[in-house]
């Protein structure tokens, strides 16, 4: 049973820093140096650093269990054997969990004055991780081993010989070869959005006062605004949760989607952020009025919400009352809606709503004289993608595939009619 723990620290400037501690509860020196110099300083997001340290944690747990002293062996120019690499690859399939089931241990330092939160012991479970997680984990482990071996040889010999570099490279390659293969991503496997019938059903269920609305009166207003914003704008979950009241111009019915990585005003340890570019999106007058009313009524009545500017807050009485809504809370809202009509709303999530919005945009473009280049530029702006990134083409291609199917079905129906 390993004692390595992984959690986030929030500094006073808002930066989220993942920390991996050793058995004594101190930051693991080599892992910390690796994460800072190789991941964080490369401009990677905190969640990417967290994933890298999660892979290192898996490696350290394996080495601790087998009595492998990585640093001492590398200093002696001794590398992992074929059997050890096989064993490590098998270990990388294990998942990690905490007694609370969260898998993440959090220590928050909002103002560097006190430590809040609790540590939970992380232990390997029999439940394996997905092939994608294992692939990423082994990639990070190979990167860490390469860095660690090179560093400790340089520390003792000042210079790494060509033969040592070749052996280190061979060790890393052998580990990478143990990664599960990634099959080619089929163009036919991309998920589509909700059908128009399903979309209308979702909007009907979420409507305030609807007979089959599954929520209590305290959160119906908030949840309808959430669904309407996702439907009209197609923004990501992180972008939705990061919205602030000050992002809205209720006179012009516009909202700004802003990137605020490391926001010191955000109390959530796992900060929801915009992955895409800043942009200004128009809202319907109906949605603008609905959001404004939520701010002036329900949100205002959650008194702790007056201490921050985040739009969506927790309305349930308790220690989180008035705090910004979490990703888990948002997921619960959508899963509860889905349960009202599981057949039509199967797979409902923020990203499905993003697909739905793009499908409707494609249908709108069919009614205009916009060129393909103009459509791509408009879609890229609204979704926050860089022009020319190619992401817009994914949605255009799926729309063309659907139109092709519809046209082919009409052709078949015409042939049958001609034969009768």
- CA dist., res. 200 & res. 195, Å (int): 9
Q: Mean pLDDT across the stretch 320-347?
A: 96
β-strands 16-21, 5-10 pairing: antiparallel
pLDDT tier at 106 (50, 70, 90 boundaries)? very low
- CA dist., res. 179 & res. 184, Å (int): 15
pLDDT tier at 120 (50, 70, 90 boundaries)? very low
pLDDT tier at 103 (50, 70, 90 boundaries)? very low
Q: If you average pLDDT over every residue of the chain, what do you get? A: 86
Largest separation between any pair of C-alpha atoms in the chain: 87
Q: Mean pLDDT across the stretch 289-304?
A: 96
Q: Is the pTM here over 0.85, yes or no?
A: no
241, burial (CB in 10 Å: exposed 0-12, middle 13-18, buried 19+): buried
- CA dist., res. 227 & res. 230, Å (int): 5
What is the sign, positive or negative, of the torsion defined by CA atoms of 27, 29, 35, 36?
Answer: positive
**What percentage of the chain exceeds 70 in pLDDT?**
83
pLDDT in tens, 167-208: 999 999 999 999 998 655 555 445 678 999 999 999 999 999
- pLDDT at residue number 183: 55
Query: Is the Cβ–Cβ distance between 16 and 266 less than 8 Å?
Result: no
Query: Is 107 a residue whose pLDDT tops 50?
Result: no
Closest CA to 275 of 199, 346, 354: 354
- Which fold does the domain 196-354 belong to in CATH? hpI Integrase; Chain A (1.10.443)
Residue boundaries of the structural domains of the chain: 5-176, 196-354, 364-419
Reported in sequence order, the residue ranges of 70-170 that DSSP labels E, i.e. its strands, are 94-97, 106-108, 116-118, 123-128
123: β partners: 97
pLDDT in tens, 232-284: 999 999 999 999 999 999 999 999 999 888 888 999 888 898 878 899 999 99
- pLDDT at residue number 143: 97
């Amino acid at each position: 049973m390993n004692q390595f723990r992984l959690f986030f620290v929030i500094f006073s400037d808002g930066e989220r820093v993942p920390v991996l501690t050793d058995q004594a509860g101190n930051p693991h020196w080599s892992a910390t140096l690796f994460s800072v110099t190789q991941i964080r300083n490369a401009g990677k997001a905190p969640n990417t650093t967290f994933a890298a340290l999660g892979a290192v944690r898996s490696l350290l747990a394996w080495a601790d269990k087998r009595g492998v002293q990585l640093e001492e062996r590398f200093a002696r120019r001794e590398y992992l054997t074929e059997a050890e690499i096989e064993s490590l690859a098998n270990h990388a399939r294990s998942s990690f969990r905490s007694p609370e089931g969260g898998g993440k241990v959090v220590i928050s330092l909002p103002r560097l004055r006190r430590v809040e939160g609790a540590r939970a012991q992380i232990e390997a479970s029999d439940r394996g991780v997905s092939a994608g997680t294992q692939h990423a984990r082994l990639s990070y482990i190979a990167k860490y081993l390469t860095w660690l071996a090179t560093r400790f040889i340089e520390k003792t010999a000042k210079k790494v010989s060509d033969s040592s570099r070749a052996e280190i490279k061979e060790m890393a390659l052998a580990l990478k070869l143990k990664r599960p293969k990634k099959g080619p991503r089929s163009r036919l496997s991309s998920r589509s959005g909700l059908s128009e019938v399903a979309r209308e059903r979702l909007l009907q269920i979420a409507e305030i006062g609807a007979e089959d609305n599954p929520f209590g009166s305290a959160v119906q207003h908030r949840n309808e605004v959430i669904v309407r914003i996702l439907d009209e704008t197609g923004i990501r979950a992180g972008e939705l949760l990061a919205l602030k009241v000050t992002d809205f111009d209720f006179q012009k019915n516009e909202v700004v989607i802003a990137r605020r990585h490391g926001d010191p005003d955000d109390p959530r340890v796992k900060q929801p952020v915009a992955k895409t570019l800043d942009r200004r999106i128009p809202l319907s007058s109906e949605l603008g009025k609905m959001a404004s009313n939520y701010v002036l009524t329900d949100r205002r009545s959650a008194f702790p919400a007056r201490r921050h500017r985040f739009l969506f807050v927790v309305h349930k009485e308790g220690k989180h009352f008035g705090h910004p809504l979490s990703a888990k809370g948002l997921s619960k809202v959508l899963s509860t809606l889905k349960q009202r009509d599981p057949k039509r709303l199967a797979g409902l999530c923020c990203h499905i709503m993003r697909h739905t919005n793009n499908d409707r945009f494609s249908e709108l473009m069919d009614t205009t004289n916009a060129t393909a280049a103009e459509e791509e530029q408009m879609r890229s702006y609204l979704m926050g993608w860089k022009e020319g990134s190619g992401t817009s083409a994914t949605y255009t291609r799926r729309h063309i595939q659907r139109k092709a199917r519809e046209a082919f079905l009409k052709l078949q129906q015409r042939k049958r009619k001609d034969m009768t």
